[in-house]
Amino acid sequence: MTRLSVNINKIATLRNSRGENLPDVQKAALDIERFGAEGITVHPRPDERHIRYSDVRLLKPILHTEFNIEGNPGKRFCELVGEVVPAQVTLVPDALDAITSNAGWDTLANRDFLKDICSRFKESGIRVSIFTDPDPKMVEGAAECGADRVELYTAGYAARYASGPELAIAPYLEAAKAARDAGLGLNAGHDLNLDNLAYFVQHIPWTDEVSIGHALISDALYLGLEKTVAEYLKQAHANK
């Protein structure tokens, strides 16, 4: 069964817009867990425009589900992950000026760098996932880097879903098969929502985890946070 990890960056973005502690990021994370989410994801960026490094330190001791920290593995990020020791770290090659993640790693060109990072985190008992495009070669490269999982960047799937789910899922299915053949676990994330999530996990039922933030928090404005988490769990568990 696919697990749902909720990315709480957007809650921190709202808080930061006023410079106070409303909404309370820690309380929101605990509420999301209480509503059934099976993990919490954060993506601290160097400018701390949403999740702050201090948030990450405060969240780790209070969470009860899996904690996933994602980001570009620069020096400061690696020090934070080594200090906090989450269940999982997801390596994402986002540029400093990126509004959001917009591409996966070239795991072949960056093999030596990623191999060193993977080894360092795995020595601390942290599961390592590498963010990749739906390209079997990049997935196989992630395995060669020593990753435990890949997270498929699903923006392309979401963009094409309305025009034809079968065509939209096709490259992801091939990449997912490559991950399975390479002995890698499989995560997915970016632009997954209540319309396209169930189809994805039903056609790639060995998906271990989906990480969803923007769409889920947006839906919560209309449905309420508790009901929204329940609806996303229903879709994530459609491969049950």
Q: Kindly list the catalytic residues.
A: 43, 70, 190
Please report the DSSP string for 61-117 in residue order: TT--SEEEEEE---HHHHHHHHHH--SEEEE----TT-SS------TTTTHHHHHHH
What does the buried/exposed string (b/e) look like for 79-116 if buried means 16 or more CB atoms within 10 Å of the residue's CB? ebbeebebbbbbbbbbeeeeeebeebbbbeebbeebee
Residues 176 and 179: their CA atoms lie apart, in Å, by: 5
118 strand-pairing partners: none
H/E element holding 211?
Answer: strand 209-212
Structure tokens at 100: 């959001």
Chain-centroid distance of CA 7 in Å reads 7
Residue closest to 114 by CA, chosen among 90, 146, 83: 146
Residues 6+ apart with CB under 8 A from 50: 9, 10, 12, 13, 16, 43
How many residues belong to the chain? 240
Please state, in angstroms and rounded to a whole number, the distance separating the CA atoms of residues 129 and 134: 14
